[in-house]
Structure 1
Amino acid sequence: MTRTSFSGTLAASPLGDARIVTAAEFEFTRIAGRRTTIATPVSPAAGATHVTLHVVRVAAGESFSPDGSVGEENTAVVFDGRGTATVGSRSHPVERAHAVYAPTGQALSLTADAEGLTVYVWRTPLTAGRRPGTDPEPFSTLWDETTQLRGFGGTGQIAPDSDRATMNFVFWPGNGSSQLCLHCGIQQPGQTFNVHLHPDSDEAFIAFEGIGQMYLRDRWIDVAAGDVLYAAPGVLHGARNPHTGPDARRFVTCGGPSPYDPALYSAAGLSSDVR
């Protein structure tokens, strides 16, 4: 087994205060002579405020571990393939739609089996004053419906749609995440996760499944699975599935604001205290 680590930020197109980066625009680079490749569509070097987002294609039999992961928060979502995720001393098999959270103080490692493994990895340092959870949950899936936000009306800048999508809180303060969160928006045909902003947080999320639209700044933009949205603090964004009819399918997004935004949990009637 070959282990690959990565600490730098690869070249990325400037983000400004907001940008949608399509999967076709990702620039993959091989790491340290290995077969594993990485693209970095969102990073401080490209203009993000708080968060780095990698897309990693872990080659069969190889492992990826971000250098410095012990000193930062990490979340990862498997986009394709199978393998094993390790957080600290705990390991778990993973496949498409599985999610991983590595809190500050615990290293993240992702190992591919014979199919290879494509993962999206979010990274951010822990902000001063935030503490790690007492017993954070390291493994979950995007389809975890234990804790949800339903009927979200946005933050008031844009008139909300009435057919509102559901969001799964996969990793959040209630299950021990101290800075990064991972939410999954399920936009059934005709549904919208209404336009909103985060005053103090970057937003980096991806289209995980299907085709739909993301709102950015002042308009709706067509996207497909694999595409990435970045919005700086204060920039309006949202997601919707404009497709209806017998052939329409759900549109799924995942990611979240960094640092997490307590307003989303308040909208669900939940505390944002880290457990």
Structure 2
Amino acid sequence: MRTSTSGTLTATPLGDARIITVDDFQFTPLPGRPDGRTTIATPVSPAAGATHVTLHVVRIAAGESFSPEASSEEENTAVVFRGVGTATVGSRARRVGRADAVYAPAGQVLTLAAGAEGLTVYVWRTPLAAGRRPGTDPEPFSSLWDETTQLRGFGGTGQIAPDTDRATMNFVFWPGNGSSQLCLHCGIQQPGQTFNVHLHPESDEAFFAFEGVGQMYLRDRWIDVAAGDVLYAAPGVLHGARNPHTGPDARRFVTCGGPSPYDPALYSAAGLPSDVR
């Protein structure tokens, strides 16, 4: 286990908030795969106390594939953490590698197939809330590095005094490109930068450290994390991300994930509408 800046253990009870380190993941073979080459861990789920969202980490063996159970009422989003392969959403397919992202609206099957080196992906799943419907022309493929639509200078939601050196967030999948509920954002914390502490009144937050080392805020403290570690915060729980490292050897710290259902306040802070395209 890693320790927080106050020296206490990071492990917290399952329920309203938790940071799950890579060492905590419990991988098991996919059902129906007797050789156990493709394995799955589920650090966030309703069974573990989440309200709206499930997050899988799937290690797909070379030549094998993975598809979440298809549902007309469930959206899926995936981010490639390691390896190269092919992603298919409905009838559309694309070659994918590290930092590529895939969105499957409700009613469309998501399939991830690994190439010769295997594929590690983080997959979010959520049932649509009442009244939510798929967008008219949702974008199924993107990248964490897509800078088309961004939130800059976010000051948080007022519970904690904000830092002045503020990180930038890329809106990868969001209502403006057709995501009706399960959105994906990418926080780019350059050395010394913070994505300020905030909460979502009605949304689960599930995100992970994609690149580098940094800190995540959870409840009332900053906690050291590294690439692959996951944060879960229930509605109303304070969270954030920062890169406390500075100096000539410091590198950026990248996080990705998002609230489910999406929180219109983030788009309002960027001066954007939250209507689903």
TM-score, normalised on structure 2?
Answer: 0.94
CA–CA distance in 2 between the matches of 1:108 and 1:15? 29
The 5 A counterparts of 1:106-255 are 106-255=108-257
Between 151-160 and 63-72, the greater mean CA deviation after superposition: 63-72
Q: For each residue in 1:19-55, what CA deviation from the matched residue of structure 2 results, as whole angstroms up to 9, or x when unmatched?
A: 0000011000011224110000000000000000000
Residue 70 of structure 1 and its aligned partner are, at CA, apart by: 4.5
Q: Which amino acid aligns with 2:82?
A: D
Moved over 4 A (4+): none
- Give the match for residue 256 of structure 1: 258
- Give the match for residue 5 of structure 2: none
CA–CA distance in 2 between the matches of 1:191 and 1:220? 14
Pairing partner for 1:76 from 52, 75, 78: 78
Q: For each residue in 1:232-273, what CA deviation from the matched residue of structure 2 results, as whole angstroms up to 9, or x when unmatched?
A: 000000000000000000000000000000000000000000
Q: CA RMSD in A?
A: 0.9
User: Can you give the 5+ residue segments of structure 2 that lack an aligned partner in the other structure?
Assistant: 1-11
Residue 71 of structure 1 and its aligned partner are, at CA, apart by: 3.4
CA–CA distance in 1 between the matches of 2:82 and 2:70? 25
User: Can you give the 5+ residue segments of structure 1 that lack an aligned partner in the other structure?
Assistant: 1-12
CA–CA distance in 1 between the matches of 2:86 and 2:14? 32
SS in 2 for 1:66: coil
Q: Which amino acid aligns with 2:94?
A: H
SS in 2 for 1:266: helix
SS in 1 for 2:133: coil
CA–CA distance in 2 between the matches of 1:91 and 1:193? 33
Q: For each residue in 1:164-203, what CA deviation from the matched residue of structure 2 results, as whole angstroms up to 9, or x when unmatched?
A: 0000000000000000000000000000000000000000
CA–CA distance in 1 between the matches of 2:93 and 2:137? 16
Contact between 1:217 and 1:235, CA under 8 Å: does it hold in 2?
yes
Residue 15 of structure 1 and its aligned partner are, at CA, apart by: 2.2
Contact between 1:44 and 1:50, CA under 8 Å: does it hold in 2?
yes
Contact between 1:86 and 1:110, CA under 8 Å: does it hold in 2?
yes
- Give the match for residue 56 of structure 2: 54
- Give the match for residue 26 of structure 1: 25
- Give the match for residue 38 of structure 1: 40
CA–CA distance in 2 between the matches of 1:229 and 1:150? 22
| Aligned pairs, number | 263
- Give the match for residue 8 of structure 2: none
CA–CA distance in 1 between the matches of 2:156 and 2:164? 11
SS in 2 for 1:161: coil
SS in 2 for 1:114: strand
- Give the match for residue 94 of structure 2: 92
SS in 2 for 1:137: coil
CA–CA distance in 1 between the matches of 2:137 and 2:14? 35
Contact between 1:69 and 1:108, CA under 8 Å: does it hold in 2?
no
- Give the match for residue 104 of structure 1: 106
Contact between 2:70 and 2:108, CA under 8 Å: does it hold in 1?
no
Q: Which amino acid aligns with 1:17?
A: D
SS in 2 for 1:132: coil
CA–CA distance in 2 between the matches of 1:160 and 1:247? 25
